[in-house]
A and B are shown apart, each in its own frame.
Chain A
């Protein structure tokens, strides 16, 4: 094994000094999207155009502020801690409510802001005729603001605020088409599953806070580093429970594929840069504490590794390409969290955050491009999407780049971030406590060919040659004067595809494609401090495995009409995969039904037992009072006068006694 020091790029050239803005960049990054959401909601009441301008302007300004922040941090402008609405006067507890920016969080913020901008632009096209575009755009803006708050938070209370607001926004976005029963159900499920897991998150943060008596992340890290032990382990396990909910780890994984009911821009936002990635961000902020507690690390490693493999397997068998992408998100996010546990003690969480940024780019690209295709082809089910990129040539490049990056093919950004994770896991195995790293190494090693397999499957379906079209030009046929030549058909497809989308939305997709291709240089930038654990045999082995898996899928797809390799699987397996292995039923049986039964029991007890005493007392009082009923006033006004007279009498007594 060779260990190289990754060469840093030379320092950025010194730009002319920026004008002195009041306040810190982080404050702008968080405040602008929140304000834009409010303004869009208030101003856009009569016109979607106003709302669109507001949110897009907000998103551009946010991206500008995030970039400015990245720049100031890279040139070493130190005041990175900035205030918000705090500190709060909460007695013994110190709640400073500060934001704090580091190179890692700053670059994450840029990625989030970029994806949010592209999604906003895209949504204006995608929801052009939606009467609730205003609400959607405002919610997306609020959502990205909440995510940026989590990313830049220097205080666990702010983290919790952003975390919960994101959960709520996901409810609104997933249930956007609220007239649809399945969307309502998916929205409720997303909120309830994540909120249930947040039980652990809230208690974990409270337990962490109770140690130093302060909610500042810096204080918490300092305090618990000095005294690790059972208390820290319990708190971290609770936090991990919350993270597992938001990031859709086993056993909370099932809400995320269902969240596909939301409009495509919402899916892109939830899956790429916000919500599911929040868990990685929070654990990266609490990274020293995760490393200080081996049980917590091992638990997370096991959960994340199991999830990444399971989700990759399920992704392969999905009959709907959008759900395939959803399961691939589950798999990739679990990979980030697994990376956190595998990093050798003493190193920073850079590789995990790098994968977060890389995943944000290519996953947003994939979702938006697939949404484009869905508009053209009428859906994302295999039967609709088949031959998609042949018929509509314009979506070929973005989808191809996205799938290659997802599969981890060099030199795209997905390859770089995955290989770095593999490398750091390999290094982690050499460390003192190799347990988590070993599990993760195995999972990443097994996950790479699986990912390649489902990406290959999707590509084979999408790029199947157009078999029959019009009057059947394939095979032997007389030359028909009216049949359009192949070239014409393709040209018409491209024209249709380009006419369907707005040029800003298309520019957003192109930007993401470009960044996915060149993003591989990210670890060379000074924002990432990546220890390069280069292991050439390991790298070659993983690439070979991926190639073998892809070839296997290619072989399996031969002879299937749609070139769908998953069609070779038994129908039972396909059905089970589509239903997420019955996790939904398990949630209902294990949690929902017992809770409802308990609720019915409680109301029965309340009515028959607790209220019974009150009723009995009431009857007794009635009986006693019946005798005196004749003299008691039954008209309201006289009794009111009597009360006042009583007050008057009391007052007079007071004066007299004096």
Chain B
């Protein structure tokens, strides 16, 4: 029973808080903002303690849940999932601690002069925090689960609260856009989930189990080549919608431009990772031959996405959408690294995954704060140079963009370099010529990343305008940004911190079977 302590501490606070807040939201006098936010942050902190405990003690839950379907509630963290659950817990604290203000609306000419900042008393704040809690819960279940069905449950648990965050608490400029974003999100992710469920069910019928460790041990032995390919394609398309892989990416900029700051942070740092994690868990070791067959196409799409999204960043007008595009490019590197089928590639992908989570969280916190102050994130509007008026936010943006362009010493570098190397020297069963071409294209994408980083800094950070003045980061923002900047720096300077955690399990994953 002692074993249950830490996992329970990781999950139960989130569940209980979700219920409490969801109920509280329906009462006639909803609780005040400090209370709701305090409860939410407290629960995220407790859960983070639980997650750290689970990881350190290596404990887990293992109860038979639905024996008729062979479904076990098997929640444990191994080397692959440890960085991701820690990321989720950390980002969870960031997301809940961010103050949610009234979403911006289209304002008439008369009230243009009204102050933007400090509009509190947001309706439905309790429900908003309930959604955040539920997203965290779902993400933790997804990453901890060693059973494909439970993985799927966690995966699905995230969708609806996320949709609510976008549709109800998002940017209210031009209502149609918010509507369009929510529609795209729900449509795409529901389609993706359905395809993934089909793949999981196919695998469970073919192997007779839903235990992913068992799947990895079998390594597709009981499947014919054609079956492997079919399952791999189903799962890759389903998960690829989530990642997202080009050309299934069009929903992401929409959702990011609309979602509230905390929603964007969670979406970029946690939700997208569920897609890549799914590929690592359900595809790479499970149907190795099918994955190998599909990998040149996957890698080709990934590098197309890198260049495509990078180019889009050069002309994008909305800063939040721009960061969303850059996310697509970064995840392109992760997918490319996975597709190479080497241990180097897998390590680079796992590193890049977490690095992007931290960098994207930082960038979205900063850009969200800017959008709140500016009233929109439109880059064509002339604004005060951040370096002159808000040096702290400006510094955070510089670090974020530098990390985004893959500057060494910051987190983004190792994953991208590893991906390019792995593509240059792919596994034996990959076509070397194609992958070398992909390596070149990916390197071109990295150059484009520098170009858009420079573009953003030149348009937003540097300049001589001092008006309209906006306030610099306040205390909570300052602390959150500081923590994320330190994380970006530490991962960049000392990558072994993460690489050593994943190394053993990554090696085991490719050689079949678990450690």
**Chain A residues at the B interface, C-beta cutoff of 8 Å:** 85-86, 88-93, 157, 160-162, 164-165, 168, 171, 175, 178-181, 184, 187-188, 191-192, 195-196, 198-199, 202-203, 206-207, 209-210, 213, 595-596, 598-600, 602-603, 606, 610-611, 614-615, 617-618, 621-622, 636-637, 639-641, 643-644, 647, 650-651, 653-654, 657-658
Contact = CB atoms under 8 A, between A and B. Distances in A.
B106 interface: no
Given A184-B458, A614-B184, A643-B160, A92 B342 contact: yes
Given A614-B188, A637-B127, A184 B344 contact: no
Provide the main secondary structure of the chain A interface.
helix
Nearest to B387: A178
Please report whether the interface of chain B is mostly helix, strand, loop or mixed according to DSSP.
helix
Contacts of B464: 179-181
Given A89-B347, A207-B424, A654-B71, A640 B409 contact: no
Given A181-B464, A640-B130, 16 more contacts: A89-B500, A90-B344, A92-B344, A164-B407, A600-B315, A602-B312, A603-B315, A606-B308, A636-B124, A636-B131, A637-B127, A637-B130, A640-B160, A643-B134, A658-B67, A658-B68
Interface in B444-468: 444, 446-448, 450-451, 454, 458, 461-464
For chain B, give the interface size range. 35 or more
Nearest to A642: B160
23 contacts: A86-B496, A89-B499, A90-B343, A91-B344, A91-B345, A91-B347, A92-B342, A92-B425, A165-B408, A180-B464, A188-B458, A192-B450, A199-B443, A199-B447, A203-B424, A599-B314, A602-B308, A610-B247, A621-B183, A640-B164, A644-B22, A658-B65, A658-B66
Interface stretch (B44-52, B81-89, B110-118, B415-423): B415-423
A188 B308 CA distance: 22
Contacts of B164: 636, 639-640
A93 B426 CA distance: 11
A614 B187 contact: yes
B347 to A, nearest CB: 5
A85 B496 contact: yes
Contacts of B160: 639-640, 643
Given A88-B495, A91-B345, A206 B385 contact: no
Interface string B486-497: 000000011110
Contacts of B495: 85, 88
Contacts of B131: 636, 640
B507 interface: yes
B409 to A, nearest CB: 6
The 5 closest A-B pairs by CB, nearest first: A91-B343, A178-B462, A89-B503, A91-B344, A161-B408
Contacts of B483: none
Contact of A91 (B127, B168, B417, B507): B507
A333 B139 CA distance: 54
B64 interface: yes
Contacts of A161: 408-409, 413
B426 to A, nearest CB: 10
B320 to A, nearest CB: 16
Contacts of B425: 92-93, 210, 213
Contacts of B494: 85
Contact of A611 (B250, B348, B447): B250
Interface string B10-29: 00000000110010011000
Contacts of A596: 314-315
A180 B463 CA distance: 7
Contacts of B446: 199, 202
B378 interface: no
Contact of B462 (A162, A184, A595): A184
B33 interface: no
Contacts of B421: 93, 206, 209-210
Residue among A91, A596, A641, A657 with max Cβ neighbours from chain B (10 Å): A91
Given A85-B493, A164-B408, A179-B388, A188 B443 contact: no
Contact of B408 (A160, A175, A603): A160
B499 A90 contact: yes
B440 A203 contact: yes
A91 B424 CA distance: 14
Contacts of B496: 85-86, 88-89
B297 to A, nearest CB: 17
Given A85-B494, A93-B344, A618-B183, A640 B250 contact: no
A641 B157 contact: no
B463 A178 contact: yes
Given A93-B421, A203-B439, A640-B22, A179 B463 contact: yes
B408 A203 contact: no
B477 interface: no
B36 interface: no
A611 B386 CA distance: 33
B506 interface: yes
Contact of B157 (A165, A195, A600, A647): A647
A174 to B, nearest CB: 11
Contacts of B413: 161, 164
Contacts of B454: 171, 188, 191-192
Given A91-B347, A600-B315, A606-B250, A644 B409 contact: no
A191 to B, nearest CB: 6
B180 A618 contact: yes
Given A89-B500, A203-B420, A654-B71, A617 B187 contact: yes
B263 interface: no
Nearest to B317: A603
Contacts of B71: 654
B6 to A, nearest CB: 21
A75 to B, nearest CB: 33
A621 B190 CA distance: 12
A213 B408 CA distance: 21
Contacts of B450: 191-192, 195
A643 B133 CA distance: 14
B227 interface: no
Contacts of B316: 603
A202 B68 contact: no
Most buried by A among B65, B249, B462: B462
A171 B408 CA distance: 15
Nearest to B307: A602
A207 B425 CA distance: 9
B412 to A, nearest CB: 11
A653 B153 CA distance: 14
Contacts of B247: 610
Interface in B166-192: 168, 180, 183-184, 187-188
A654 B502 CA distance: 33
A122 B251 CA distance: 53
Contacts of B134: 640, 643
Interface in B195-253: 247, 249-251
Contacts of A658: 64-68
Nearest to A650: B153
B161 interface: yes
A355 B244 CA distance: 52
A177 to B, nearest CB: 10
B346 interface: yes
A282 to B, nearest CB: 15
A184 B463 contact: yes
B98 interface: no
Contacts of B342: 91-92
Contacts of B188: 614
A207 B247 CA distance: 30
B268 interface: no
Given A178-B463, A640-B127, A206 B315 contact: no
Interface in B302-361: 308, 311-312, 314-316, 342-348
Nearest to A639: B160
A610 B250 contact: yes
B116 to A, nearest CB: 25
